[in-house]
Amino acid sequence: RHGWRVTAVDIAPTALRRAAEAAPELADQVTWTAADITRTPPAPRTYDLVSAHYFPLPRTADHTALHGLLEAVAPGGTLLFTGHDLADLADHLEQEYTPHDFYQPAEVAALLGEEWTVLVDETRPRTTPPPPGTGHTHDTVLRARRRP
């Protein structure tokens, strides 16, 4: 709605379909793409903004998938990586889901190299009510800029 051309990527075609149906007026501005970025990373240094919200990116020893995501940010571009504050999740976790198996924004900030400037790395209260049945009252936010 603000003039951006968007490539929306999700591993789940159902999620993409629902998002497209929720905003049909954006059909000319959004390309809906089903992909697993842990297997096929986005094109390097292509996007002015890479935004990953509540994205369960699995932590690996070599950080391959994370590096693929970071490499997608163009010089001068911005990375926005947000997640739920883990302190909010303690009483609501399912046993089969371990959030510590996935990258958290502060961890991503610590892994950024010299070509990045971290602009925001903090926990903030949510500005909208949490989904019913959850305790998500705070989000962790990382905003970093790749140097030109």
Q: Is the distance from CB of 143 to CB of 80 less than 8 angstroms?
A: yes
In 3D space, the residue among 47, 55, 57 whose CA is nearest the CA of residue 6 turns out to be: 47
70 to 1, 4, 8, 88: CA distances (angstroms): 25, 20, 16, 27
Q: Evaluate if residue 129 carries a pLDDT over 90.
A: no
State the average pLDDT for the chain: 88
Q: Evaluate if residue 118 carries a pLDDT over 60.
A: yes
Which percentage of the chain shows pLDDT scores above 70?
A: 92
Domains and CATH numbers, the chain: 1-35 (no CATH), 42-146 (3.40.50.150)
DSSP secondary-structure letter at 25?
G
Residue 18 in tokens: 């629902």
Q: Is the distance from CB of 50 to CB of 73 less than 8 angstroms?
A: yes
pTM (2 d.p.): 0.86
In 3D space, the residue among 27, 24, 54, 55 whose CA is nearest the CA of residue 131 turns out to be: 54
Residue 93 binned pLDDT confidence (cut-offs 50, 70, 90): low
Q: What is the pLDDT of residues 1-30, one digit of tens each?
A: 788 899 999 999 998 999 999 999 998 999
